[in-house]
Structure 1
């Protein structure tokens, strides 16, 4: 018997609806549901979170602070004068300042993690456990670049509760997180929220990769843990964004994958041992990428190479663009320092670079990042300004001159500096790229320039080949960098 077409159609519709319902139910079953309560998790984790207080001795100022202005003859004038003189007396007793923060136990032997800024410059560090017992803490090690510190207390016969680290790379935007800490000195306070964003750069340091959360974080939460729903530490609460100083739902935590290797080094060596490549890098903008023949502005552009460093030994050169390091894509410049820092010292890592219009792979033996020498602030005396001298490079807004003793003195340039010095920048392509008088153009189009004719020739050659940008290598006291100089009448490709 031939089935009724209408009956078949209705059956197919029912089957489709049933399949859709089953699929929706399965999807709902696999989705993470909001917990009915965090009480069990909080009860388990609270004993591992500690309050940290520090004291610091502040010496009296050597000069009398400026006194408020009062009308002549005011009775307050003598009162404030006497008060401020007493405060500035050399024999007056030093003052002691206190600050509060948070931390958490990572080892039952008494190791505690917190932020470096919580204990910076402290004379004494006190750790208060969840049961209100206090212990004097010893600083084991600190790292200002990641804002982490490891402390040690002697728990005696007390059994400490320690918490494990989780894998922050597995945390997804929208996952539930729990923050526990000591906001405003109130002690064990629990707040909940979600992961709001990943890989935030807030210009706090060279390895910024913060987790952003809307869990309430306030002053005093610094150094406290950010837990996932399994009770693992996925972040260390470090900073907030707040115009008012209070929580507005934008907090930042150091991810555990960045923190754990640093903490392990601090425990073992008392300092951080980081991988080192020995290059100064800059980001690629679309103009720089195009001038180098790249279709995407991804990677880290090598601006200079440290003599005798790992990169120099592997024959990396200024102008190379690092696309991959040890098999990991460098999608943006700021990722490279962190990836190198996490690489084992001594490891031979393959580095994929873009050089002369093609991909090249070199092997680099990763070195150890040397301790940075203490910076000595030196201010050069102001040089008298003279009228611009040199040759105008048409279409660029630049006036340049070959280096001579007078120009070296005027701009504070070293004797071994070689290139063309910029003496004036007018409105135009160079000004738009941030070039200034005193900049030294070392190369143009990957060729050395030593006099204005060299630069003019490079500009004309670039225009003749229909290039829209001329690649310049520029040096000043602050940095060595590449600049893609727009050519105003360059022909479109």
Structure 2
């Protein structure tokens, strides 16, 4: 029986064999080197010259970010979740319950209810209304002055009765509401500093933030307070259907319930956006959040601070985009601009002579590229400001001086129209080459579409039975003959398409149809 080999001997044999192997490899390669295993050397990484993290930025800006607690008025409708855990807050209640069922923001904030039913789109419906006191809602905010002015979202404070601010060092202060702006979802609160000075942050220039730049979000998700997340700017100029001035920054920093009203910082510590919405089928972060750009927020907040409200210019038209078909029909070289789909006479636009069918191409000489840009440009002027509006009409540009109104004074009352008059019955007649059957309307204003060929270009463009053709290439029509005459005239000019103004109920729209050949 052989004696058992001791551990020290096995270790010596392994070391010798290893050294021999390394030496052989060195000799075979013709390399003169010391004989020892290179993996025995400790790994050493040279630290970067500058710390790549966000700690320096966060340490400077975090004291300016606060939690906003809102004690809401009693007898407000409760949440659709049985426990009330819904909406951008911690605890009971949903700040979006007051929104209409068809409001576009619901798809961003109506979080799923694991115990509730949903509709076919996966959005969970509201539960039956129940009255009673509501728990304290929570959001985020940030100081913009050392004397206690702070910014948050309108939907955070909407319906609130009292407001409490909690700083990152757990101090609590009562705050009063200075003003809100529902159109941009911003609000301004004021804390009595009681002799102390608050750490505050400044708005930056979001136009300098590029897609791919770092962004740091600080806020109060789920009531945790002082939470920091980081990501990048994912996109710019997002339109999420929240309002006429949509121009959101999209970021992928984790933003959850309670982050609303909190700031999104660049790496210099300046606010480039105010977090206001998330897109989420489940209610949790999926990396798609939207922030109000700093340039917008800065202007709105200054107006709230100075006046308690936001005063915007008002033109008084309904507008739509200019498609390539519409551009071809009216003789425009490109699709820039906004087409006037409805214009009432008792508005600044009506008084200035702007007409339905005009394409607004510029304001004060600055090109308008889209309806959204036109809305923002007009809103950027104060009421009673005189501006020059350039329109495209009759194959030519025309500049009209307009004195803007005040959008806050909009009259929401519906306008009644003329009573119907008895008209003799007229047999429908087809419009050759366009797939539509027409008959004069009962009130003599326009021609009613009574049938549409499903294989026609009219059907492809969305023309449907019941639509009323009001104008063709800007000319009013009252019969099929009027329509045909306008089509013939357009064909003689060499245009590729003709522009139909359609009315259905109280809605106006424009459809460009290619001119039928033969």
- Secondary structure of the 1:123 match is strand
Q: Distance in 2 between matches of 1:35 and 1:458?
A: 70
- Secondary structure of the 1:97 match is coil
Query: Are 1:57 and 1:94, in contact at CA under 8 Å, matched by a contact in 2?
Result: no
- Secondary structure of the 1:202 match is coil
Query: Are 1:389 and 1:401, in contact at CA under 8 Å, matched by a contact in 2?
Result: yes
Per the alignment, residue 451 of structure 2 pairs with: 424
Query: Are 1:285 and 1:297, in contact at CA under 8 Å, matched by a contact in 2?
Result: yes
Normalising to structure 1: TM-score of the pair? Answer: 0.76
Shift of the alpha carbon at 1:367?
Answer: 2.7
Shift of the alpha carbon at 1:109?
Answer: 2.4
- Secondary structure of the 1:220 match is coil
Q: Greater CA deviation, 249-258 or 451-460? A: 451-460
Shift of the alpha carbon at 1:151?
Answer: 1.4
Q: Structure 1 residue aligned with 2:431, among 393, 416, 427?
A: 393
Structure 1: 5+ residue runs without aligned partners? 1-32, 62-87, 379-387, 405-414
Matched, 1:295 2:322: no
Cα pair distance change 1:34/1:445, threshold 3 Å: farther
Shift of the alpha carbon at 1:285?
Answer: 0.5
Q: Distance in 1 between matches of 2:172 and 2:76?
A: 30
Per the alignment, residue 394 of structure 2 pairs with: 356
Q: Distance in 2 between matches of 1:47 and 1:220?
A: 17
Q: Structure 2 residue aligned with 1:316, among 354, 358, 381?
A: 354
Matched, 1:473 2:501: yes
Query: Are 2:433 and 2:517, in contact at CA under 8 Å, matched by a contact in 1?
Result: no
Normalising to structure 2: TM-score of the pair? Answer: 0.73
Shift of the alpha carbon at 1:226?
Answer: 1.0
Per the alignment, residue 247 of structure 2 pairs with: 209
Query: Are 1:182 and 1:221, in contact at CA under 8 Å, matched by a contact in 2?
Result: yes
Shift of the alpha carbon at 1:218?
Answer: 1.3
Query: Are 1:468 and 1:490, in contact at CA under 8 Å, matched by a contact in 2?
Result: no
Tell me which structure has the larger Cα radius of gyration: 2
Per the alignment, residue 438 of structure 1 pairs with: 466
Shift of the alpha carbon at 1:213?
Answer: 1.2
- Secondary structure of the 2:408 match is coil
Matched, 1:173 2:206: no
Shift of the alpha carbon at 1:57?
Answer: 4.7
Q: Distance in 2 between matches of 1:315 and 1:375?
A: 23
Q: Distance in 2 between matches of 1:232 and 1:375?
A: 43
Shift of the alpha carbon at 1:105?
Answer: 1.0
Shift of the alpha carbon at 1:253?
Answer: 0.5
Q: Structure 2 residue aligned with 1:188, among 219, 222, 226?
A: 226
Matched, 1:234 2:262: no
Shift of the alpha carbon at 1:337?
Answer: 0.2
Structure 2: 5+ residue runs without aligned partners? 1-48, 78-127, 417-425
Cα pair distance change 1:368/1:375, threshold 3 Å: closer
Per the alignment, residue 25 of structure 2 pairs with: none
Matched, 1:119 2:153: no
The aligned runs of 1:107-186 (5 Å cut-off) are: 107-186=145-224
Per the alignment, residue 290 of structure 2 pairs with: 252
Query: Are 2:331 and 2:495, in contact at CA under 8 Å, matched by a contact in 1?
Result: no
Matched, 1:37 2:65: no
Q: Distance in 1 between matches of 2:453 and 2:180?
A: 47
Instruction: Give CA deviations for 1:222-244 in whole Å, capped at 9, x if unaligned.
Output: 11011122211111011112223
Q: Structure 1 residue aligned with 2:70, among 54, 57, 61?
A: 54
Q: Greater CA deviation, 424-433 or 200-209? A: 424-433
Cα pair distance change 1:34/1:490, threshold 3 Å: farther
Cα pair distance change 1:35/1:437, threshold 3 Å: farther
Instruction: Give CA deviations for 1:432-469 in whole Å, capped at 9, x if unaligned.
Output: 22223332211113221112222233334445655432
- Secondary structure of the 1:107 match is coil
Per the alignment, residue 284 of structure 1 pairs with: 322
Q: Greater CA deviation, 173-182 or 315-324? A: 315-324
The aligned runs of 1:258-277 (5 Å cut-off) are: 258-277=296-315
Query: Are 1:168 and 1:234, in contact at CA under 8 Å, matched by a contact in 2?
Result: yes
